[in-house]
Amino acid sequence: MPNQQSGHSLLSTRCRPTDGFATRAIRSGQDPCPLTGATIPPIYQTATFTQDAVGVMKSFDYSRTGNPTRLALERQLADLEGGRFGVAFGSGMAAVAGACASLMLGDHVVATSDLYGGTYRFFVDVLGRYGISTTFADTSDLAAVKAAIRPNTRLIWVETPTNPLLRLADIAGIAALKHHGQILAVDNTFCSPFFQTPLAFGADVVVHSTTKYINGHSDVIGGIVITNDERLHERIAFHQNAVGAVPGPQDAYLTLRGTKTLALRMREHERNATAVAKYLEAHEDVSAVFYPGLPSHRDHELACKQQRGFGGVVSFRVRGGAERAHAFAARTRLFNLAVSLGGVESLICIPAHMTHCSVPEARKNQLGITDDLVRLSVGVEDIDDLIADLETALNTTAEEAFAYTSAD
């Protein structure tokens, strides 16, 4: 199998470690093509590559194993995370599975308790069938993480911020708890590498659903696993090739293009999300707001220490319970009622019935993922329009609730 991280003249990079984030996002792994002068890496829409002789190839032989467009994306994103190796997958969940490629029968996982519903399902319903057990712990509490670690713990899986309650985990603190042979993997989807680089705090593996902020336009499904550990990279790349859960060259190209504006977009996402969070916190019809950028957030101090920004996701509880929360989510005009996040357009969802429907009801209630919880992915539209949309929806549902109670 060709080494997908080996040098290739079409995909070299002239970026320096001292170059800024936006420069690296635009330039890493994306030098002009020496054959044609094309400024943008071409879409190598090919399944196979012609060999010079039997077993003699120009770095690539088959696009499941390696493709130049995908390699450019892997190098670009690895550079942005401060990693040596990137392995791209066809979806965020495929990347989650790839990051678990080192696990074997009898291994144990410690995972964040309030993580994405799809990841919970994978750990419980997929890994569980393979004889790999998982303990879910409050990873915002170092004592709880330490207590959950067993002699056979192989992987510590952390989401920070978590989905959908936006709790934070001390990455460096958890890294210090690891024993020899244990892997710390961090799902960095909510922050993106613009706001957080977990490898710098001791993580061994970083995972992204590139569907979200990295691509940023809600038109591609994808994932990436990044590491500095060559052995881990080899195992993950072997899994990628053996399982075949790879992005096509068109998807890799679109994600490459989206990432070039990541710095610009994340600044706007954060600016708008901060304004929305402050608006909601001051609103009498909102009982709680979850956003690490607010001084009232339980992990605000850690966010200031560990992150370079606070992201674009805001969760909150609307007064009036599940009925009003569901009505509110259906009344917005600019916030589309949809799963996913991180696109330029704003989205709204009820996690308990949408993104986390695979989590058992009792567990959701225990975690606080209840029917009155609303999650916003705040886009980059004009902030006055977004707040006006929320205000209209809140007022409309308040009037409906008043009319309903008055009729009784």
Active-site residues: which are they?
64, 116, 187, 212
Q: Helices 92-99 and 230-243, interaxial angle, to 10°? A: 130
**Which residue type does 83 have?**
G
Residues 6+ apart with CB under 8 A from 387: 275, 276, 279
Element spanning 324, H or E: helix 321-331
With b for 16 or more beta-carbon neighbours within 10 A and e for fewer, the 19-42 pattern comes to: bebeebbbbbbbbebeeeeeeebe
Residues 6 or more apart whose CB falls under 8 angstroms from that of 148 comprise 110, 135, 137
**Is the four-CA dihedral 83, 87, 93, 99 of positive or negative sign?**
negative
Q: Which residue from 67, 86, 79 is spatially nearest to 28, judged by alpha carbons?
A: 79
3-state helix, strand, coil in the chain (%, to 5): 40, 15, 45
Half-sphere exposure of 1 (CA within 13 A, CB side): 16
The DSSP element (H or E) to which 286 belongs, if any, is: strand 286-290
Tokens at 278, concatenated:
């402050």
Q: Which helix (H) or strand (E) holds 406?
A: helix 383-407
